[in-house]
């Protein structure tokens, strides 16, 4: 099989790539694993820590440029489309957000359509498609009322994936991702970046800023679980996905206070003292616009799993990123 | 005021234009009517029966071409965006549908954004944004699950209008239109065109083909009522529209059998005998995919009104288009 990951040098892209290279194949439709012959990691940036493997080709370029995307996507049998301008960045740079998040998705779908082979696509959408005046608990039937340009672009991407799938041009699957914590690496321009920072930096002995109140709640999923979900979504048969081709992933709801409690359990009081509380009204407004309580019933029935607790999320981070050690 | 109507030579565009020229102004936000100084009718085709008036300028061109749209939209204070490739045509010509219905809407919004004046926009969306496995009765909270490319493009247009409005670039309002019957003129490429044909042609002494079964139900609105709705949507204050900027318009649900009954009441048995029944599975499939029962509660509270019966719709057609006379 030939595999393409857009956003391939981002942190999730690299984790998917590493898992794929380790497993060596994909059990499409639950069948015998098909070996991966070629893996293209496509991104705007070369990134760091990209797997070195003879099957891997790293390509950097503009996802909204048809010729570039044609080159990386025309031979792909399966595509994980993870490339995106994140929320706060898409809100600050209106044109860039539409260019990458909307045009990029459309260009990719057009190249996949032109192959005539109905390649398989897993699209990383986001729970930011929900927003504003939504029910207390979101379900798979809640209407999409994004209150950010990022969420708008993801909702539009889902509609494209559904239409291209309905027409038989691609076999698309959209996953609405919860906020992923704990992200490794450095803070990014996502409004949600603090939720990783307030765990990651204190455990590494560094100070972190928390821009929201302790009662702010978020719907979260660990990197381990999101990678598992991206694989499951790629390997499930066509029929598992309904007419919208989209599902919201199971996650857990955690307040900032609960996140800090888990940090204390794993890293001690010293870790908690490394959080500096500095309210940022712009970030607060965006975060409060995101729904915190979601019942992902359909995805659960399809075998997708949430983390069991925020403490499990913190412990997974310590195991996967810190070699099991936390700063004293 | 300077007014732009896209799709200005289409049948609704011409009716809006005629009403605007007759009234001479728009009571924006319920205030004193502001006189219309200039009215641009923009369309891909010159059309027929375009109002001749010194205030009117007819421009033909491609709505997906930024330079063209810049020329017609940069000075507009208010815009009715009615231009669209209709449902069956967008389904048959995938690229044309996306070009006009998605790119055209985006190009228009970009030109309006560039003015920096936050012009007002009424966008003609469609009940085709609903589809597939939806509740028995659709409401304003039902999620958008279009099952046609046309519906997909309209749903994406709504998302754009909402995002551009939220950012303060335009003051947008999206109306989900029921199927409009009785359309004057000739059949078009909409899958719904038969619903007008089976009334219009028999009343004019001509034969019409009905491609769907008698129990097929549709959610419909008359040309009179849709023109009134387009004016109301333009004149209501900003605050009347919620976070989605979109409402579904009140209509009535009528089966084909009920339509034929109303035809009999107004035009007699002779008219009914002019209907030839020839099932078309492709049309049937599209029409059955549209929801027939919608509770447009929010729009009703905002003062939008449905026709009182299908007979009222037929009688309005006879008055407005046939000078009160029906074929014997």
Q: Mean pLDDT in each 10-residue stretch from start to end of chain B (328 residues)?
A: 97 97 95 97 94 96 98 98 93 97 98 98 96 90 94 98 98 97 90 94 97 96 98 97 94 98 98 97 86 96 98 98 93
Question: Which residues on chain A place their C-beta less than 8 Å from a C-beta of chain B?
Answer: 94, 131-133, 141-147, 149, 152, 155-156, 159-160, 162-163, 166-167, 242-244
CB contact under 8 A, B243 and A147: yes
- Are B177 and B125 in contact, with CB atoms under 8 Å apart? yes
**Does B210 lie in the same domain as B128?**
no
**Mean pLDDT, to the nearest integer, of A122-151?**
93
CB contact under 8 A, A143 and B145: no
**Does B128 lie in the same domain as B37?**
yes
| ipTM of predicted complex | 0.96
**Mean pLDDT, to the nearest integer, of A13-39?**
96
Distance CA B305, CA B149 (A): 28
Closest residue of chain A to B157, computed from CA coordinates: A156
Question: Which residues on chain B place their C-beta less than 8 Å from a C-beta of chain A?
Answer: 94, 131-133, 141-147, 149, 152, 155-156, 159-160, 162-163, 166-167, 242-244
Q: Give contacts of A133 with chain B, Cβ < 8 Å.
A: 242-243
Choose among A141, A149, A159: nearest Cβ to B163: A149
Å from A40 to nearest chain B CA?
A: 28
**Mean pLDDT, to the nearest integer, of A3-14?**
97
For residue A39, the model assigns a pLDDT of 98
CB contact under 8 A, A143 and B142: yes
Mean pLDDT over the full length of chain A: 96
From the list A262, A225, A251, the residue with the least C-alpha distance to A137 is A251
Helix, strand and coil percent figures for chain A, each rounded to 5: 45, 20, 40
Share of chain A above pLDDT 70, in %: 100
Q: Which two tokens stand for residue B267?
A: 């035009």
From the list A217, A192, A180, A242, the residue with the least C-alpha distance to A294 is A217
Question: With 90 as the cut, is the pLDDT of residue A116 above it?
Answer: yes
Q: Give contacts of B163 with chain A, Cβ < 8 Å.
A: 146, 149, 152
Query: Is residue B58 domain-resident?
Result: yes
For residue A291, the model assigns a pLDDT of 87
Give the helix/strand (H/E) hosting B224. Answer: helix B223-235
Q: Pick the residue of A93, A159, A291 with the most B CBs within 10 A to test the interface with B by mutation.
A: A159
Q: Give contacts of A162 with chain B, Cβ < 8 Å.
A: 145-146, 152
Name the active-site residue from B130, B150, B164, B219. B150
Burial class (CB in 10 A: 0-12, 13-18, 19+), B119: buried
CB contact under 8 A, A133 and B94: no
Query: Is residue A197 domain-resident?
Result: no
CB contact under 8 A, B243 and A132: yes
Closest residue of chain A to B133, computed from CA coordinates: A243
Query: Is residue A128 domain-resident?
Result: yes
Q: Give contacts of B138 with chain A, Cβ < 8 Å.
A: none
For residue B168, the model assigns a pLDDT of 98
A98 is catalytic: no
CB contact under 8 A, B152 and A144: no
Query: Is residue B134 domain-resident?
Result: yes
Of A2-6, A190-194, B292-296, B323-327, the one with minimum mean pLDDT is A190-194
Question: With 90 as the cut, is the pLDDT of residue A285 above it?
Answer: no
- Are B219 and B176 in contact, with CB atoms under 8 Å apart? no
Question: With 90 as the cut, is the pLDDT of residue A215 above it?
Answer: yes
**Does B54 lie in the same domain as B22?**
yes
Residue span of the structural domain in which B281 resides: 193-219+252-294+302-321
**Does B209 lie in the same domain as B90?**
no
Across the A:B interface, residue pairs with CB atoms under 8 Å apart total 60
**Does B153 lie in the same domain as B24?**
yes
For residue A328, the model assigns a pLDDT of 86
- Are A207 and A274 in contact, with CB atoms under 8 Å apart? yes
The total of structural domains in chain B comes to 2
Give the helix/strand (H/E) hosting A263. Answer: helix A256-273
**Does B197 lie in the same domain as B59?**
no
- Are A151 and A131 in contact, with CB atoms under 8 Å apart? yes
Query: Is residue A324 domain-resident?
Result: no
Query: Is residue B139 domain-resident?
Result: yes
Can you give the CATH number for the domain in which A82 is found?
A: 3.40.50.720
CB contact under 8 A, B133 and A94: no
CB contact under 8 A, A152 and B160: yes
Query: Is residue B91 domain-resident?
Result: yes
Q: How confident is the model at residue A133 (pLDDT cuts 50, 70, 90)?
A: confident
CB contact under 8 A, A133 and B167: no
Closest residue of chain A to B245, computed from CA coordinates: A145
Q: Give contacts of B147 with chain A, Cβ < 8 Å.
A: 166, 243
* Paired strand residues for B59: B42
Phi and psi at residue A7, to the nearest 5°: 70, 30
Give the helix/strand (H/E) hosting A90. Answer: helix A87-92
Å from B117 to nearest chain A CA?
A: 17
Cis peptide before B182 (omega within 30 of 0): yes
**Does B309 lie in the same domain as B238?**
no
Choose among B131, B144, B166: nearest Cβ to A147: B166
CB contact under 8 A, B152 and A159: yes
Of A114-118, A177-181, A186-190, B269-273, the one with minimum mean pLDDT is A186-190
Q: Pick the residue of B144, B148, B156 with the most A CBs within 10 A to test the interface with A by mutation.
A: B156
Q: Pick the residue of B99, B116, B152, B159 with the most A CBs within 10 A to test the interface with A by mutation.
A: B159
Query: Is residue A37 domain-resident?
Result: yes
For residue B189, the model assigns a pLDDT of 82
CB contact under 8 A, B133 and A167: no
CB contact under 8 A, B159 and A156: yes
């Amino acid at each position: 099989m030939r595999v393409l990951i857009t956003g391939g040098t981002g942190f999730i892209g690299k984790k998917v790539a590493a898992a794929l290279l380790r497993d060596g194949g994909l059990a499409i439709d639950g069948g015998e694993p098909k070996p991966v012959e070629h893996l293209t990691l496509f991104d705007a940036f070369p990134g760091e820590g990209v797997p070195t493997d003879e099957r891997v080709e790293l390509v950097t370029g503009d996802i909204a440029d048809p010729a570039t995307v044609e080159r990386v996507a025309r031979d792909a049998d399966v595509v994980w489309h993870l490339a995106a301008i994140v929320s706060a960045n898409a809100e600050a740079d209106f044109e860039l957000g539409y260019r990458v998040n909307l045009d990029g998705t459309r260009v990719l779908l057009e190249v996949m359509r032109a192959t005539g082979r109905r390649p398989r696509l897993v699209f990383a959408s986001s729970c930011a498609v929900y927003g504003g005046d939504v029910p207390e608990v979101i379900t798979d039937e809640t209407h999409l009322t994004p209150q950010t340009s990022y969420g708008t672009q993801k909702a539009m991407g889902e509609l494209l994936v559904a239409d291209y799938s309905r027409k038989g041009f691609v076999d698309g699957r959209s996953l609405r991702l919860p906020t992923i914590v704990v992200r490794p690496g450095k803070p990014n321009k996502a409004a949600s970046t603090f939720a990783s920072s307030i765990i990651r930096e204190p455990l590494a002995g560094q100070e972190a800023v928390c821009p929201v109140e302790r009662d702010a709640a978020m719907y979260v999923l660990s990197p381990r679980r999101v990678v598992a979900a991206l694989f499951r979504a790629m390997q499930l048969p066509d029929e598992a996905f309904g007419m919208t081709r989209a599902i919201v992933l199971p996650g857990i709801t955690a307040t900032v206070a609960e996140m800090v409690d888990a940090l204390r359990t794993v890293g001690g009081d010293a870790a908690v003292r490394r959080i500096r509380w500095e309210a940022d009204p712009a970030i607060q407004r965006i975060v409060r616009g995101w729904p915190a309580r979601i019942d992902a019933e359909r995805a659960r029935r399809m075998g997708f799993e949430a983390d069991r607790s925020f403490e499990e999320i913190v412990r997974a981070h310590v195991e996967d990123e810190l070699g099991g050690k936390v700063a004293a």
